[in-house]
């Protein structure tokens, strides 16, 4: 079996600007909701959808971008929903964190079948199935061209995976946080139900918080603002969309300081 280093020589070599164009961001965190992994199913993991998203990540690694991911768990269990149905909130959130580990392992499997060396690091130690989260080790993996998937949120209840994504992006020194959603950016309302909804090309962190736009939760937006990490919101279902956004092309909404 080829080593990680051998795989890295094929996947993490510098981009050829004449062929693909230089990416604007060299290290990024991709946040994907658990629901994005369901495909057309009502629940669970659709392998075809996971493979398609994994291929998007592979293409980014091929042009020399260091990629880490945070994947939600809403396709399996959502802590807030469990709490709403009478479960104690902390217990429900821990169950949701475990769901994110399942999704992370599914994504790791898809990426490694495509020849992309990948590591899963969990904020809740479970060494039989993945590594515990260690910041410097994660950075080293990324420097070697490996994809790192951060699982189990922050490891604490009462925090969403959006906040975990902003936290890990800050810790990894990412150039941008990309949120793959069901639509191609941030709108004034849900474009699926409101045909009059207008799309924003750019917003400031303050705009998002003041207008209560459902980009990410307020804690995540505030953390990104404090660390000056732009948030790029795009459609995860647009083939090739991830790499397009990394090059500054395609449709997306950019949230930054606005300066």
**At 111, which helix (H) or strand (E)?**
helix 89-113
Is 60 exceeded by the pLDDT of residue 18?
no
Q: Per-residue pLDDT tens for 224-256?
A: 999 999 999 999 999 999 999 999 998 999 999
Distance from C-alpha of 258 to C-alpha of 238, rounded to nearest angstrom: 26
29 to 17, 46, 66, 168, 246: CA distances (angstroms) = 22, 22, 9, 8, 11
Question: Which residues are bridge partners to 102 per DSSP?
Answer: none
- Sequence length of the chain is 259
Starting at the edge strand found earlier in the chain, the sheet holding 118-122 runs 131-132, 118-122, 147-151, 66-71, 27-32, 176-181, 231-235, 253-256, 202-204
53 sits in the region (left: phi over 0; alpha: psi -120 to 50; else beta) called alpha
Is 80 exceeded by the pLDDT of residue 84?
no
Is 80 exceeded by the pLDDT of residue 14?
no
Q: Per-residue pLDDT tens for 147-186?
A: 999 999 999 999 999 999 999 999 999 999 999 998 999 9
With a pLDDT cut of 70, the percent of the chain lying above it is: 90
148 sits in the region (left: phi over 0; alpha: psi -120 to 50; else beta) called beta
Domains of the chain: 4-256 (3.40.1160.10)
Q: What is the sign, positive or negative, of the torsion defined by CA atoms of 188, 190, 194, 199?
A: positive
Q: Per-residue pLDDT tens for 34-63?
A: 999 998 888 899 999 999 999 999 999 999
Check residue 259 and give its pLDDT: 63
Q: Say what the pTM is.
A: 0.89
| Averaged pLDDT for residues 16-36 | 81
Distance from C-alpha of 137 to C-alpha of 141, rounded to nearest angstrom: 6
Check residue 162 and give its pLDDT: 97
Is 90 exceeded by the pLDDT of residue 6?
no
Distance from C-alpha of 67 to C-alpha of 183, rounded to nearest angstrom: 22
């Amino acid at each position: 079996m080829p080593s990680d280093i051998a795989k890295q020589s094929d996947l993490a070599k510098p981009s050829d600007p004449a062929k693909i164009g230089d990416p604007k961001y060299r290290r990024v965190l991709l946040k994907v909701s658990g629901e994005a992994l369901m495909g057309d199913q009502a629940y669970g993991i659709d392998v075809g959808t996971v493979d398609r998203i994994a291929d998007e990540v592979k293409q980014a690694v091929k042009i020399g971008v260091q990629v880490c991911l945070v994947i939600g768990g809403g396709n399996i269990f959502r802590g807030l929903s469990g709490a709403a149905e009478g479960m104690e909130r902390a217990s429900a959130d821990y169950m949701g964190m475990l769901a994110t580990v399942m999704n992370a392992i599914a994504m790791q499997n898809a990426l490694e079948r495509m020849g992309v060396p990948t590591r899963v690091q969990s904020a809740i130690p479970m060494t039989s199935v993945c590594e515990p989260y260690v910041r410097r080790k994660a950075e080293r993996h990324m420097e070697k061209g490996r994809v790192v998937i951060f699982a189990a949120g922050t490891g604490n209840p009462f925090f969403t995976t959006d906040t975990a994504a902003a936290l890990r992006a800050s810790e990894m020194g990412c150039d941008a946080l990309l949120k793959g959603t069901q639509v191609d950016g941030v709108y004034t309302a849900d474009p699926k139900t409101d045909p009059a909804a207008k799309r924003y090309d750019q917003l400031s962190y303050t705009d998002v918080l003041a207008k209560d736009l459902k980009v990410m939760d307020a804690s995540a937006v505030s953390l990104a603002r404090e660390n000056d990490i732009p948030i790029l919101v795009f459609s995860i279902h647009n083939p090739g969309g991830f790499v397009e956004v990394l090059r500054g092309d395609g449709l997306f909404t950019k949230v930054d300081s606005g300066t």
